Amino acid sequence: MKSALSQLGRRTAPPPVSWLMSTSLARPRLISLAAGFTDNPTLPVDEVRDLLNELLSDRGTGEPALQYGSTQGLPALIDLTAARIQLLEQKAGNHSADKERFADRLVIAHGSQQLLYLVTEVLCDPGDIVLLEDPTYFVYLGIVQSHGLHCRGIRLETDGIDLASLDKTLGNLKKNGALPRLKMLYAVTYHQNPTGTTTSFNKKQAALDMLRHYEKWACHPIYFFEDAAYRELGFEEETEPSALKIIGAAERIIYAGTYSKPFATGVRVGYGLLPQPVRDAVIRVKGNHDFGTANLLQHLLARAISSGTYDVHLKLVRRRYAEKADCMVSAIRTYFPDVVRWRKPTGGMYVWLALPRTVKTGLRSKFFARALDHDVLYVPGQICYAPDPRRPRPNHEMRLSYGNATPGEIKEGIARLGRVIGEWLVEESPRRLSLRPKACNGGPSSS
């Protein structure tokens, strides 16, 4: 008897993160620098308790919080979110942002993850194409894989995607008649997961110009999906406006943000600011998903923001991550050999490292197994690259997170990893000399 699963059901692969998680559970001494979990000691336990106490001490506010709401989201939270995005834009020098029009295009979701899912679902059929940063947010790759989409990776520079790489990719798709299948360019534009890169406004503008130029061969809008999940997690005041500043953004920019990572990941609330046809479709489909985001969570967030609690907490969280980033960077300086390349993060939760290209760091690599033997876990860089027929996935990088680990764990984890790298390089040098032809077989990666 065959399986009754749908094509999507059969196609959807287990996420690599679930394997990473189960691995960490099985090793009690393990230090995970892999998890995307957030910092425990700064979780706003007292603040959430007080806010919920207020909310639920009055039936006038408590009842609506425990009742169904509307699918697009709590009007008060939508208004606060619109005002918040407007303020972020103003701080970044964009004074044309209009709160009223933002509110008309907002949808609240169970985390920005749900928004990513809904947008992909309403835009992409199997066989459609999305452009992704090289490397990109690997959980998004799960959505892409599940929907049977084709990918093109766009080389990432220190200030965002390489425009020449984007142009060349679009030109090739045009030549092959594939532009009608291209739906969007997805980019994590602030303190990117996994590399920490922040995309300059100029690049966002140039990228959208380029997409619009090629639209005439697509015969439909090609959207720029700006995932701003880490926008509020910079260590300094953010100075780059979002793509919402671009003229015509209302028609082409899909903008996603989240309250979960900065506030509390157990409170899954994110949002999307969407072009009208996308928003209409997303709301219809979200109605089928869940009727709307849990009202209690939305009321909690609305109260956290309007009372100022959210902003006070945000300052604390940003300071905390800045300190833990410093801690990781300083440990890397101490314990890692100089051949390891990396950049100091300016926000977010991750450090991205490149080892010499001969060191394979993937999930099935001996190096990964060795690190596990030393009770330290990282995210292999390879899983952050979209499958792209034009290149093999680079396999010599890693993402390290200082999100959940304590400063002590960060230091010890980096020391362990430093030992693994050091030993590996020592063992490898003679092998490289004797096996040069074989070592070259895989070819250099394209990153």
Nearer to a copy of itself, 18 or 334 (CB): 18
The structure tokens listed for 101 are 């029009």
Amino acid at 376: V
Nearer to a copy of itself, 81 or 120 (CB): 120
CB of 91 to a copy of itself, least distance (A): 27
As to burial, measured by CB atoms within 10 angstroms (0-12 exposed, 13-18 middle, 19+ buried), residue 14 is exposed
Q: How far apart are CA 214 and CA 167, in angstroms?
A: 9
Beta-carbon-side half-sphere exposure of residue 149 (alpha carbons within 13 Å):
30
CB of 57 to a copy of itself, least distance (A): 6
The residues, ordered by sequence, that sit 6+ positions from 275 with a Cβ below 8 Å of its Cβ are 105, 221, 223, 250, 251, 252, 253, 254
Q: How far apart are CA 7 and CA 14, in angstroms?
A: 15
Q: How far apart are CA 1 and CA 233, in angstroms?
A: 51
Q: Is 369 helix (H, G, I), strand (E, B) or coil?
A: helix
CB of 268 to a copy of itself, least distance (A): 4
Nearer to a copy of itself, 114 or 165 (CB): 114
CB of 77 to a copy of itself, least distance (A): 13
CB of 407 to a copy of itself, least distance (A): 17
CB of 79 to a copy of itself, least distance (A): 17
CB of 394 to a copy of itself, least distance (A): 24
Nearer to a copy of itself, 45 or 440 (CB): 45
CB of 292 to a copy of itself, least distance (A): 8
Nearer to a copy of itself, 25 or 433 (CB): 25
Q: Which residue has the tokens 């943000």?
A: 257
Q: How far apart are CA 239 and CA 244, in angstroms?
A: 14
Nearer to a copy of itself, 219 or 247 (CB): 219
Q: Are 209 and 365 in contact (CB under 8 A)?
A: no
CB of 218 to a copy of itself, least distance (A): 8
CB of 420 to a copy of itself, least distance (A): 27
Nearer to a copy of itself, 189 or 293 (CB): 293
As to burial, measured by CB atoms within 10 angstroms (0-12 exposed, 13-18 middle, 19+ buried), residue 36 is buried
Nearer to a copy of itself, 82 or 282 (CB): 282
Nearer to a copy of itself, 53 or 434 (CB): 53
Nearer to a copy of itself, 282 or 420 (CB): 282
Angle at 120 (CA atoms; ends 258, 395), nearest 5 degrees: 85
Q: How far apart are CA 135 and CA 156, in angstroms?
A: 7
**CA distances to 289, 312, 323 from 317, in Å:** 32, 9, 10
Neighbours of 78 (CB within 10 A): 22
Nearer to a copy of itself, 117 or 336 (CB): 117
Nearest to residue 228, comparing CAs of 238, 236, 218? 238
CB of 162 to a copy of itself, least distance (A): 25
As to burial, measured by CB atoms within 10 angstroms (0-12 exposed, 13-18 middle, 19+ buried), residue 4 is exposed
Amino acid at 381: G
* Strand ranges (E), 110-262: 129-134, 150-157, 160-161, 182-188, 223-227, 253-258
Report the Cα 247 to chain-centroid distance in Å: 25
